[in-house]
Structure 1
Amino acid sequence: MATIELYLVRHGQTYLNKYHRMQGWSDSPLTDQGIADADRVGQRLAKIPFAAAYASDMLRAQTTAQHILAANDTLDVADLQTAPALREENFGFFEGLDSTFTAHFVGSPVGSHSYDAMIRDLTIEKTRDLIKEHDPFHDAENDQEFWDRLQPGLDAIVAAAQDGDKVVIATHGTTIRSIVSKYSDIDVASSAKNGSVTKLTVKDGHYKVNYFNNTTGKLK
């Protein structure tokens, strides 16, 4: 039975993060703080012998991955592979809007007034469906659409790996929370922080979350 270890890294802070804007399929560069986030996590992961490295096709994830690989003892920047399947959730009409306004607009009818509160009160899966329902253009992804995109991408990464491989993936906050919610009972009401590491072990196709949102502890 093959065992693969996946290290999911949330990208460094972006300008849209800094301005508290919804940032799904929209994109913005890393801030100076975001570059520091990427360099810091790169140093924390430097000694792990990765067999492969992936990022979503969004600039913020690719830049973060490049800084991680620049510090790694095994891989370098040229080894990075990108995949649209690893993108953040698509927030549709709400892309780029103030996140507090968006959460209030979508969540207040059900008594939740922040994005984290909606996830706590409704689950992350139902929150995604609710955002889709409130999108006047219906471009936002519902939970089924999100997983129809993401799961094949994750499975393809695992299928390409060999037994014992360690793989680093630079991706996004809600994507990471969603994976953790699906494959564990860990509370995801608080977002993964920029530059944090979440680890999964995939054994014979079964996903298990080892830890979530590690920002300072030892990585193994």
Structure 2
Amino acid sequence: MTKVYLTRHGETEWNEKGIVQGWGDSPLTELGKKQAKWLGERMKDLHIDVIYTSPIGRALNTAEIVKGDRGIPLIEYDGLKEIQIGGWEGLNQEEMKSLSEDNYYNFWNLPSKYIPTGDGETFNEVKDRAFKAISEIIEKEKGKTILIVTHTITLKSYLTALEKRDIDTLWDEPFIKQTSLTEINFNDKGYEIPLLACMEHHKYSRKEFNEFE
């Protein structure tokens, strides 16, 4: 059996301000660092053979915090990057909407009809990229336990491809919150998902978490 844990990076400064990051980046907030530490605490007694992460700073930093002082190999993998958002990078929601209300609506409601600007990617392109990347990782690390640190749309796109769903179901619940944990077990018969977007580890420091909400 190959066990895959999937998570999203912790909260960033741009997350806090509602700014779209894409391949851009902003630092983890203090809450984002705490979220990564809580996940690391949850996983500290779990055997993990290898960690793969998006090379974008917010994901890499999250992976490093979760890893802690454990001697686990940490590998950056380009295919795990977030959607390339093109001309929307660095904009907030209102600025995105002002450029095209229709395209903004499609981004959040009809991903198949979203048209990227500049060098941006379509949702289907991200879906194909994410599935290819994670499938390559699983094949390379077959029989191991893998932690993958990535981004919301990348993770949602992979699950959409894995479950053979239409891209327009991508935003169906659950939402992938910061450092939520998804577990997928692969065997000869297929796969099972015992955990999906689980936030149970936030109970470790609930008092601190409330102070930052």
Structure 1 segment 42-57 matched on structure 2, within 5 A? 42-57=40-55
Percent of counterpart pairs with the same letter?
25
**Cα distance per residue 1:25-63 (max 9 Å; x no partner):** 011110111100100111011111011111001111111
SS at match of 1:5: strand
Partner of 1:211: 195
Q: Please identify runs of 4+ aligned residues in structure 1 that moved more than 4 A.
A: 103-106, 204-208
Superposed displacement of residue 14, structure 1:
0.5
Q: Aligned residues, how many?
A: 197
Superposed displacement of residue 143, structure 1:
3.0
Superposed displacement of residue 208, structure 1:
4.6
SS at match of 2:186: strand
The alpha-carbon distance between structure 1 residues 110 and 159, as it changes in their structure 2 partners (threshold 3 A), is closer
Q: Write the letter of the residue equivalent to 1:174.
A: I
Superposition CA RMSD, Å: 2.7
Which of 114, 122, 127 aligns to 1:142? It is: 122
Q: Do structure 1's residue 32 and structure 2's residue 30 form an aligned pair? A: yes
**8 Å CA contact 1:104, 1:112 repeated in 2:** no
Partner of 2:161: 182
Superposed displacement of residue 18, structure 1:
0.8
The alpha-carbon distance between structure 1 residues 190 and 47, as it changes in their structure 2 partners (threshold 3 A), is same
Which of 96, 99, 107 aligns to 2:93? It is: 99
Q: Write the letter of the residue equivalent to 1:76.
A: G
How far apart, CA to CA, are the structure 2 residues paired with 1:189 and 1:174? 13
Which of 177, 185, 204 aligns to 1:201? It is: 185
**Cα distance per residue 1:124-159 (max 9 Å; x no partner):** x42xx5142xx2x2x110134223432221122111
**5+ unaligned residues in a row in structure 1: which ranges?**
none
The alpha-carbon distance between structure 1 residues 203 and 102, as it changes in their structure 2 partners (threshold 3 A), is farther
**5+ unaligned residues in a row in structure 2: which ranges?**
203-213
Partner of 2:139: 159
Partner of 1:87: 81
